[in-house]
Chain A
Amino acid sequence: MSKEIKKVEKPEKIKKGWDGISNYFRANSIWMLMYCTGCCAIELPQAMTSRYDMERLGMGPMATPRQADVILVTGYLSVKTLRRVIYAYEQMSEPKYLVAFGPCAINGGIYYDSHAVIKQLDQYLPIDIYIAGCMPKPEAVMNGFKDLIEMIKSKKATGWRKYRDNNAWYKANQIHALGEVRIKDEFHE
């Protein structure tokens, strides 16, 4: 894992001049992967269809993590789901962003006293922007996306760099909470 990080770091430092233009393109055409983990996912179809049109911001849905830029963690995360979200986040191509909906990613939300729910997502994956509301209305969702676009343009959306540089800390937290991220037998094999 550390060899990969060293190899990847060098090209980013050399091509600093392209960053301004690249950030303009990345901010204005964001492809999202809807990881509908919980209840907040109900508010996403409204943001995509005719009334609160998401396509005028340049955003659109994409089918797989390899093609997507932003992963929307909508709702609470159980232990089983967190393993899959970590796998999907690591499969995405860089630069990548993470948007968390609702209070469940901050402190557990209304499931705060459950034994199977993750309470603080920030310890396991880097989050760029939170959208408040349980669940957030489509106007709040559109506002959140506009804020994400502003953050990308002003080079503040660097969650993926944090994940790459502090990888050991994130991995230690994940193993402490989950035991094992890529498990071998939950239902089969």
Chain B
Amino acid sequence: MSELGGLIHRMPITYLVYLIAIISMAGIPPMAGFISKWMIFQSMVGKGMIFVATAAFFGSIGSFLYVFRPLSAVFLGQLSTKHKKLKEAPVLMIIPMIILSLATVLYGVVPNMVLKIFSGIETSIGMKGLQLAGTQISGTNGILDPTIIAIMFGFGFVIALVLFLIHPKSRKVELMDTYTASEFIWTPELLHYASNFYAPFERLYENAPDTEKWYGALIKKIEELGQFVSYSLFSYKPSTIIFYIMTMLIGLLVWGGVLWI
């Protein structure tokens, strides 16, 4: 990732699809991921499983961290000079991406279209189904209305857009004309922050016992066992083979009663 950067200027549609995907993965309204996270939290808190809920929340916040790193290292930042001639992905790759993004947005704004099917399945098994009323979802601890959230988000965005447009227009400057404490820098690679992105956070647990290393040690032990077996039983020296054949023959003869020991 330290060699890529600034690809948003060459592939804007891929960027938008990625952005919608990570908004949904991090569980942010108005996308579909928020609905599922909300329902999970409602059921966990309703049963009193506080620590599982905390672990789930930690995972949700952590997912925000790890999806943000590719966004900022690959798409945003400085565009390297050797990537100035890239083109957008071909149309046949873009069409499925756009269809899936539209599905995410649609099911985030009106999820009840899909949830009615699940509620029907639940009642036909005999469980108490989801309570759906119009566009609202009722959980054990509260009510959620995703359509109203989407409408208010649109309202807020419109106010921000109006505020943006009535003030003086900004002039466009290129990406390399940025704050460097007035130093003159000419290579874009020096101004791109991508490798070791979360270094302070990783420093905190780098001395902790690592399960990957433990698995690596276990694999090495199994390899050693296999090598021992293959060395002792399946070697290419004739003396070892003759030894094993003689031992087997003597054992068979003793067992058969011919040789009496």
Contacts and interface: CB of A to CB of B under 8 A. Distances in A.
Contacts of A7: 171
A87 B179 contact: no
Interface stretch (A106-114, A126-134, A153-161, A181-189): A181-189
Contact of A11 (B169, B177, B182, B183): B169
Interface in A8-23: 8, 11, 15
A4 B170 CA distance: 11
Interface in A156-189: 182-184, 186, 189
Chain A CB within 10 Å — which of B169, B182, B183, B185 has the most? B182
A64 interface: yes
Given A65-B179, A84-B182, A11 B168 contact: yes
Nearest to A64: B179
B255 interface: no
B168 A189 contact: no
A91 interface: yes
A34 interface: no
A64 B177 CA distance: 13
A184 B168 CA distance: 34
B187 interface: yes
Contacts of A85: 182
Contacts of B183: 84
A189 B186 contact: yes
B58 interface: no
Contacts of B177: 91
Contact of A182 (B171, B179, B184): B184
A146 interface: no
Interface residues of B, number: 11
A125 to B, nearest CB: 14
Interface string A56-70: 000000001110000
Interface string B141-179: 000000000000000000000000000110100000101
B3 to A, nearest CB: 19
Main secondary structure of the interface of B (DSSP, over half): loop
A95 to B, nearest CB: 11
Nearest to B185: A189
A83 B187 CA distance: 19
A48 interface: no
Nearest to B184: A182
Contact of A189 (B169, B171, B182, B187): B187
A66 B183 CA distance: 15
A162 B205 CA distance: 57
A65 B173 CA distance: 14
B184 A87 contact: yes
Contact of A183 (B168, B184, B187): B184
A100 B171 CA distance: 27
A180 B187 CA distance: 19
A91 B179 contact: yes
A67 to B, nearest CB: 9
Interface in A80-119: 83-85, 87-88, 91
B179 A8 contact: no
Given A8-B171, A11-B168, A184 B179 contact: no
A86 to B, nearest CB: 9
Contacts of B168: 11, 15
Contacts of A189: 185-187
Interface of B: 168-169, 171, 177, 179, 182-187
Given A64-B179, A91-B182, A184-B184, 7 more contacts: A4-B171, A65-B179, A66-B179, A91-B177, A91-B179, A183-B184, A184-B186
For the complex of A and B, the 4 pairs showing the least CB-CB separation, nearest first, are: A84-B182, A64-B179, A88-B182, A87-B182
12 contacts: A4-B171, A7-B171, A11-B168, A64-B179, A84-B183, A85-B182, A87-B184, A88-B182, A91-B177, A91-B182, A182-B184, A184-B186
